[in-house]
Amino acid sequence: MKQGSSGSVGFSFERKNFRSIASIRVLGEHSSTNVCKSDSFNWVLKGRNRFCLTPICGVENRVALEVVLEAPPPNSPLHSPEAAALESASYLESLSSPRAELGNRSSKATQTLTSLKKTILHSSALTDMSPFRPGHLVECFEVEGRRRLSGEVNISGAKNSALAVLAGAICSEGQVYLEMIPDLHDVRRMFQVLQSVGVKVQRASSGFMIDAKDLTSVEPCSEAVRKLRASFFVIGALLGRKGEAVVPLPGGCNIGARPIDLHVRGLEALGADIEIRQGKVFGRALNGRNLTGGSFFLDYPSVGATETLMMAAALADGHTTLSNVAQEPEVVDLANFLNSCGACIQGAGTNTLSISGIRKLHGTEYCVIPDRIEAGTFLIAAAITRSSISMNPVIPKHLASVIEKLRTIGCQIQVTRSDSLRINCAEMLRSCNVKTLPYPGFPTDLQPQLMSLLTTCSGQSVLEETVFEGRMRQAEELQKLGAQIKMSRNIAIINGKETGSLLYGAPVLATDLRAGAALVLAGLSAEGTTYIEGISHIDRGYEKLDLKLRLLGASIQRAPCLPAELTLE
């Protein structure tokens, strides 16, 4: 055990997959034994260095157990200044044991959970004597469920459009003014990528001024690129503009294989020599000057590959034809932006792009489209809470597949203006079957959120993911809340509730951006309190999600907590 000084207290949080009750061990430098009793657990100091806090109550299925370590009574051998680190530390563990195994046992521990703000952060003992440091703490969302939403929500600019347009700004040698750029972690990382190659980024009025006239490098910051998959798009812009580029292999959410082979083969078709070594992609124009137009068929309509090749071809010598391209609204938005800079791109929104290269693009003013995925998330938030809300700005046709499915299960959705929607939801919603597909099909980025909703609908639903492998990791977390989901590779069979939601609050972990959003929505519907760790994923792609939900009447707060896997001894 590590000790800052003689007598300091260390913690060891065990999160084993027990079939009944989790445990916490507190390690301290003491030698006597003492037992303190409470309504639901025993404190037992067992010899030197072992102080065990043991629950003595049965806990019903699907109810999170909270164990609070408080300052021991004065007669306890742990009553010392160093032991003050025990004050207000809490640990939450969701139980997974079947109700049949636990029988009808119950206790006060099943009634409610208090705020995670009672973590070690709120102890006055964050001193050199404490085993915890502020750097060990992370934020979580604390969601009190079963509240109706009402009001109007403002939809931010599209994250996926903003990232592509920012990369596309490298193609322009003039100043570019962009509006509707959302304030997101991913956008800030893209700013870092741009600045690392000499692009000037300044906030101006309600938008940003981007000046890529004087590029100083063709190799963006490795750290920023590896944290943001969309930053790899700059390889197309840099090759088109400078004839060479060195870009690290990309990062982003862990949602299965997303190879760059289409990007590489497409760039080679435009006259680039590509080599991958030491975790980087090295590209240069074969003629030593510029890329040249060509033809390329994408084996799969990848959004990222389509956008990368569009930027490269916009500045290439000659004409380029790209076939079987992505048709997503974000692809159309990038094409519209580049055309406003003087590019000649035709066919955006169809499966074939025809691009005549222009060697020099000028500056422009441009407004990014509204985020259809954020809008879809709020539509599902209204549905899962059986609420009525309005939203704007939106482009309704971008949400056609989502609106159709929500109407199928029983929601009423009206286009109130050209850029506004209103949704009204009945108490009983029906099941449905959904398969994710490239646009205009149902978007993969809304599949996790829809899974949460379907757990609250009457009947059995089948949800199939065809775009990304490994993108149903939220299912395991939803099961901790009581969801009845059976998985078979990329297919989820969801048994809903005949009488509405029977989800119960518990601690869960967001494993990626959209899975995190799905858990927030489930928490809005669940009975009791849901604690969602890993919310940095959510902040990557949703601008002020918690604030927007609060303005609609939801009870959602940020609270400090200790990482689930933290062990300090």
Q: For residues 291 and 410, what is the distance between their CA atoms, to the nearest angstrom? A: 52
The helix/strand/coil state of 530 is: strand
- Name the amino acid, one letter, at 59: V
Q: Which of 140, 171, 221, 253 is catalytic?
A: 253
Closest CA to 335 of 307, 297, 365, 366: 307
For residue 262, CA distances in Å to 128, 164, 182, 268, 423 come to 53, 17, 28, 10, 39
Q: For residues 312 and 233, what is the distance between their CA atoms, to the nearest angstrom? A: 10
363 CB burial (10 A radius; 0-12, 13-18, 19+): buried
566: which 2 tokens? 């933290």
Q: For residues 473 and 254, what is the distance between their CA atoms, to the nearest angstrom? A: 10
Q: For residues 143 and 507, what is the distance between their CA atoms, to the nearest angstrom? A: 10
Which helix (H) or strand (E) is 518 found in, with range? Answer: helix 513-525
Which pairing describes strands 388-392 and 150-154: parallel, antiparallel, or unpaired?
Answer: parallel
DSSP readout, 321-387?
Answer: EEES----HHHHHHHHHHHHTT-EEE-BTBSEEEEE--S-B--EEEEPPB-HHHHHHHHHHHHHTT-
569 CB burial (10 A radius; 0-12, 13-18, 19+): exposed
Which pairing describes strands 529-533 and 507-509: parallel, antiparallel, or unpaired?
Answer: parallel
Q: Is 253 a catalytic residue?
A: yes
Place of tokens 């206790």: 107
**Positions marked catalytic:** 253
